[in-house]
Amino acid sequence: MSYGARPGKKGAPGEAMQAAGYQPPTECVMAEPLEITTRIIIPASELTWSAVRASGPGGQNVNKVASKVELRFDAAHSRVLSDDTRSRLIQLAGSRASLEGVIVVVVQDTRDQRRNLELARERLSDLIRQALVRPKRRRPTKPSRAAQARRLDAKKRQGDKKRARQPGYD
């Protein structure tokens, strides 16, 4: 017996799903580019998306319509982003980034596939905008001599106070 087949039933697993009109998710290339800023525009050829069945609200509709959207962006091979921005983007993406540097944004907030795709595009553009901001370089600082003296003086006073609590202290 093969995996997924039921005893007494003939046909390959998934035949009923195919007969019911289920289409497995296919990768689609985006129709329009994604504008991050006026100077940075991700070409449509670098973005792919697929729609799959979503969990959550929708009643019987959830079993028929593929409204969950997975938007993919291959950040590691993008020609638009600089090396610094690319590394910050992959770092910011966290678990949404694969080991190959592909960022996957999954949205299933609404019952409408188009709206979920718009939300996924917005979230990806927000993530890229965050990665464009260079973090400020930390300037190493050192406490002043007066601050060091105050700290040591406070420690001395605290030690004297504790020593005064000990029996036999004069």
Mean pLDDT for the stretch of residues 128-137? 91
Average pLDDT over residues 93-114: 88
Q: How far apart are CA 81 and CA 132, in angstroms?
A: 9
Q: What's the pLDDT at 28?
A: 76
In a domain, 163, yes or no: no
What predicted TM-score, i.e. pTM, was given to this entire model?
A: 0.65
Q: What is the mean pLDDT of residues 102-110?
A: 89
For residue 66, give the CATH number of its domain: 3.30.160.20
> Average pLDDT of 111-119?
88
| Residues counted in the chain | 170
Please give the pLDDT value at position 67: 80
Residue type, 69: V
Q: Please count the structural domains in the chain.
A: 1
Inside any domain, residue 146: no
CA distance 89 to 78: 12
